């Protein structure tokens, strides 16, 4: 039986590319979305084209009961979970200087980008410990999609940066805790990737990338991230845990 990946927020953007790359790598996929069922169906179609099985589950990762339902759905659909990809995430609805961040925006972003993945990981990891213990899953892995915003500050969206820095620490915590069970937990740090999320700032980044913001002078595309997740999923990083793998065109490099 094929291994199974649960990819949160895989209706669009980076999540869809991750789902497709994992299907290419031989995984069956639980496609999760919050609002866009039609987009989730398109992702499912892409997975079927790759001769893998998709199942679609609408659930908000920001709501703990829905995360629970998502894990139960995965178990009922496939009877196993080999890989969890915490990809679902949001930017603040409106950029605002940190002197003006509202508690509502802070809570919405933190609930989705950090609290949600924290408790979803707790639930999935508990299942993975059972599944690896009884030999149903030979090797379980968890991948968190953080961001260069985990270390690069944008004072116009502080809540987003805080959420990603927290997700980075969460990666290290679960990596330490789950190592004894043979479960790796790693983080992919995407740079500036062309998706709906970056649509509103496209012109600004067109200019800044052309001026050398990233040593590799192009936008990232969702497949850049998908391929990195697939490398982890295929076992090419099985002696690596708690690590941040940059997929950012070299943005993180200090230069003089
Ligand atoms: P996107 O195009 O806006 O897509 C977001 C995805 O997350 C959609 O599938 C959306 O579902 C889903 N989602 C949002 N809230 C959710 C919730 N509460 N529960 C379940 N699913 C939810 O974003 P993206 O650019 O692909 O970003 C994906 C991840 O990469 C995010 O964590 C983001 O922070 C991170 N990232 C992005 C960039 C970038 O430059 N784009 C850079 C670094 C990191 P619906 O379709 O139902 O709305």
Tokens of 14: 């980076």
Distance CA 222, CA 242 (A): 22
Residue nearest to atom 17 of ligand 1 (CA): 60
Q: Is the CB of 196 under 6 A from ligand 1?
A: yes
142 SS3 class: strand
Q: Which atom of ligand 1 is nearest to the CA of 37?
A: 47
The one catalytic residue among 33, 106, 160, 205: 160
Q: Which atom of ligand 1 is nearest to the CA of 222?
A: 26
DSSP secondary-structure letter at 148? Answer: G
The mean pLDDT of the chain is 98
Angle at 214 between CA 208 and CA 217, to 5 degrees: 80
Residues 120-136 have pLDDT tens digits of: 999 999 999 999 999 99
Within its chain, how far is the Cα of 175 from the centroid? 16
DSSP secondary-structure letter at 193? Answer: B
**10 pLDDT tier (thresholds 50, 70, 90):** very high
pTM: 0.99
Residues 147-179 have pLDDT tens digits of: 999 999 999 999 999 999 999 999 999 999 999
Choose the residue to mutate in 68, 162, 197 for probing ligand 1, maximizing ligand atoms within 8 Å of C-beta.
Answer: 197
Residue with tokens 């179609």: 45
243 CA from centroid of ligand 1 (Å): 21
């Amino acid at each position: 039986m094929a291994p199974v990946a649960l990819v949160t927020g895989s209706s669009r953007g980076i999540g869809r590319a991750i789902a497709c790359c994992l299907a290419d790598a031989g995984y069956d996929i639980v496609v999760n979305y919050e609002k866009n069922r039609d987009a989730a169906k398109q992702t499912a179609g892409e997975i079927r084209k790759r001769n893998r099985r998709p199942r679609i589950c609408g659930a908000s990762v920001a709501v703990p009961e829905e995360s629970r339902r998502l894990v139960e759905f995965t178990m009922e659909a496939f009877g196993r979970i080999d890989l969890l990809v915490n990809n679902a995430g949001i930017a603040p609805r409106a950029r605002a200087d940190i002197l003006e961040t509202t508690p509502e925006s802070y809570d919405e972003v933190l609930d989705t980008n950090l609290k949600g993945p924290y408790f979803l990981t707790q639930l999935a990891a508990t299942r993975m410990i059972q599944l690896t213990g009884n030999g149903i899953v030979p090797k379980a892995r968890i991948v968190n999609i953080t961001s260069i915003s985990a270390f690069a500050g944008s004072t116009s969206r502080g809540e987003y940066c805080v959420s990603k820095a927290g997700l980075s620490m969460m990666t290290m915590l679960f990596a330490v805790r789950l190592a004894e069970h043979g479960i790796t937990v790693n983080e992919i740090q995407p740079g500036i990737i062309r998706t709906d999320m970056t649509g509103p700032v496209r012109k600004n980044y067109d200019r800044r990338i052309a001026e050398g913001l990233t040593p590799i002078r192009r936008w990232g595309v969702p497949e850049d991230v998908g391929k990195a997740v697939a490398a982890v999923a295929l076992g090419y990083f099985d002696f690596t845990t708690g690590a941040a793998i940059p997929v950012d065109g070299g943005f993180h490099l200090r230069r003089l």
